[in-house]
Amino acid sequence: MSGSVSQPGPRTERGLARTLTHGQMTMIVLGSALGTGLFLGSGQAIAVAGPAVIISYALGSLLAAIIGGTTGEMAVRYPVRGGFGTIAARYLGPFAGFLTRWAYWTATVVITGIELVAVATYLKFWWPQLPLWLGIVVFGALIIGLNIKSVKYFGVIEFFLSSVKVIALSLFILVALCLIFFGLPNHPAAGVSALTDNGFMPTGITGAWLSMSIVMFSFGGIEMLSVSAAEAKDPARSVRTSAKAMMWRLGTFYVLAMFVILALVPWQQASQLGDSVEASPFVLVFAQLGIPAIATITNLVVLVAALSAANANLYAGTRLMHSLAMDSMAPTAMSRTSASGIPVRAMWFSTSGVVLAIVLATLAPKSAFGTMMTLTMVCALTVWVLILMAYIGYRRVEGATSDFLLPGGMWTAGLGVLMLLAVWASLFARTGGTLPAIAGVTYFVVLSMVYFGVVKRTHVPDDEAFAEARMASGGGHE
């Protein structure tokens, strides 16, 4: 490949290094999914649905498991460069592949910016006068530095960052459960009456439905398993192990976290959130312990969580742009890799989300988060629907031939499509979401025009990538 330089160690024929372990892959997925959507976005979801948001997160976990299961099954069979976008092109057609991959790239770069806005916000807890844009610049430079090194180095750092927040979340849930059922010194058991004192579903079924457009933002990143498979040491084993771990861990974390928060804090209080960590429902719960440094500790944890998610999403956006360039769907310069197997030019282009965050933090800091979240969801929901449709096409052609199978197969995927369409509708119905959603749809219209006007004439399906992926996965099943 033009511009790539060989190096020792496992490499694909297209220049990406296969160095990620299955533990690192699992943490990369968790690193993306456990971020600002949980620590800041959960308060907005509580405000819409009340305690019934627990049901919303349970449904979101189910939907996330379906999406993760489909991407996992296809990635075990084909750990191909470009992940589910390349697979969508094979089973739904080139246009679907183009739309999927560009939509996912857009979502990842915007999320990178959102997470850096959160990091900069958390910094203001210690330094209130610190400009929001300055925090974004400093930590944006940090994650760029992490991503410009070898992917093995990136995997180690992401494993560490994700481990910090997974451990912190686990401790939070355990301590909160003790407060609810057993009590602690000077803190009698709270019980679960707070869940029903003011009605479990105060805004009705409609509120629970509308909250889904916020809840699903929290699960962004579950599909990263398919993208990182192209750089796994042992794709079949790594994807299979990571998919199973991701499916149950995410559901456990989100549902239990919402349960303990709403059992300990009245939902009206938990929903009164801005973008400051002092108003976070996690801080409100821990504050009941009376530990003087609890706010500082919690602030540090959520900062690490946001930084980890930004790091993971920049990684994903870089790999998506590299694959788009390799398949003539983006400028060919983006396909070049460094001596260590990193698509550096694709990475620099994918920092556009960081630039967007800096601009919005300067011009409209108060509305930036909500607008960026809705734009992200338009892209993410489109990607997820196309993933499930691609899976249905994959199953019709390949059958149950993967070493990892989604329970229920095509029927489960079909249920997931219906659930995603319901979330799509809630995006337009939720107050404040209509305009950004329309802007997102307009973006897809522009992408479609670019495809049929420019890309369709030059794009050639890359069957070689599938042959290479089949070999990497151990040959698969013929």
Angle at 22 between CA 85 and CA 17, to 5 degrees: 60
Percent of the chain at pLDDT > 90 equals 14
Closest by CA position to 353, among listed 375, 324, 328: 375
pLDDT band at 403; cut points 50, 70, 90: confident
Residue 282 is assigned to a structural domain of this protein? yes
Token pair recorded at residue 463: 């069957």
In the block, residue with structure tokens 């890309």? 455
What SS3 state is found at 17?
Answer: strand
Looking at the 3D structure of the chain, how many domains does it have? 1
What SS3 state is found at 194?
Answer: helix
Q: Quick check: 339 pLDDT over 80?
A: no
Q: Quick check: 10 pLDDT over 50?
A: no
Q: Quick check: 459 pLDDT over 70?
A: no
Residue 39 or residue 16, greater confidence? 39
Determine the Cα–Cα distance for residues 48 and 159; give it in Å rounded to an integer: 34
pLDDT band at 344; cut points 50, 70, 90: confident
Q: Quick check: 107 pLDDT over 80?
A: yes
What SS3 state is found at 11?
Answer: strand
Q: DSSP states of 95-136 as a string?
A: HHHHHHHHHHHHHHHHHHHHHHHHHHHHHTTT-TTS-HHHHH
**Which range (10-14, 82-86, 108-112, 366-370) has the least confidence?**
10-14
Residue 470 is assigned to a structural domain of this protein? no
Residue 50 is assigned to a structural domain of this protein? yes
Highest-confidence segment of 155-159, 174-178, 291-295: 174-178
Determine the Cα–Cα distance for residues 376 and 371; give it in Å rounded to an integer: 9
Residue 411 is assigned to a structural domain of this protein? yes
Token pair recorded at residue 201: 């579903």
Q: Can you give the pLDDT at residue 5?
A: 32
Residue 10 is assigned to a structural domain of this protein? no
What SS3 state is found at 78?
Answer: coil
- 328 Ramachandran zone, left/alpha/beta (phi>0; psi -120 to 50): left
**Rg over CA atoms, the chain:** 21
Q: Can you give the pLDDT at residue 139?
A: 92
Residue 17 is assigned to a structural domain of this protein? no
Tell me the sheet residues that pair with 17. 11
* Runs of H (alpha helix) within 182-271: 204-215, 224-228, 235-264, 267-270
Predicted confidence (pLDDT) per residue in 112-150, tens digit: 998 898 888 888 878 888 888 899 999 999 888 878 765
In the block, residue with structure tokens 């976005």? 41
Q: Can you give the pLDDT at residue 274?
A: 44
What average pLDDT does the segment 99-103 reach? 89
Q: Quick check: 381 pLDDT over 70?
A: yes
**Which range (1-15, 298-312, 398-412, 440-454) has the least confidence?**
1-15
| CATH number of the domain enclosing 82 | 1.20.1740.10
pLDDT band at 86; cut points 50, 70, 90: confident
CB atoms within 10 A of CB 367: 12
Residue 465 is assigned to a structural domain of this protein? no
**Which range (284-293, 306-315, 367-376, 401-410) has the least confidence?**
284-293
Owning domain of residue 275: 22-458
Residue 415 or residue 301, greater confidence? 415
Q: Quick check: 317 pLDDT over 90?
A: no
What average pLDDT does the segment 401-416 reach? 88
- 221 Ramachandran zone, left/alpha/beta (phi>0; psi -120 to 50): left
Q: Can you give the pLDDT at residue 179?
A: 83
Residue 472 is assigned to a structural domain of this protein? no
pLDDT band at 8; cut points 50, 70, 90: very low
Predicted confidence (pLDDT) per residue in 232-259, tens digit: 566 566 666 666 666 677 778 888 888 9
Q: Can you give the pLDDT at residue 277?
A: 44
Q: Can you give the pLDDT at residue 130?
A: 86
Query: Is the separation of the CB atoms in 162 and 27 below 8 Å?
Result: yes
What average pLDDT does the segment 4-18 reach? 41
What is the average pLDDT score of the chain?
Answer: 77
What average pLDDT does the segment 284-311 reach? 73
What average pLDDT does the segment 195-206 reach? 86
Q: Can you give the pLDDT at residue 230?
A: 53
Percent of the chain at pLDDT > 70 equals 74
Tell me the sheet residues that pair with 11. 17
In the block, residue with structure tokens 């919005």? 360
Determine the Cα–Cα distance for residues 209 and 45; give it in Å rounded to an integer: 10
CB atoms within 10 A of CB 46: 28
Backbone angles phi, psi at 193, to 5 degrees: -65, -25
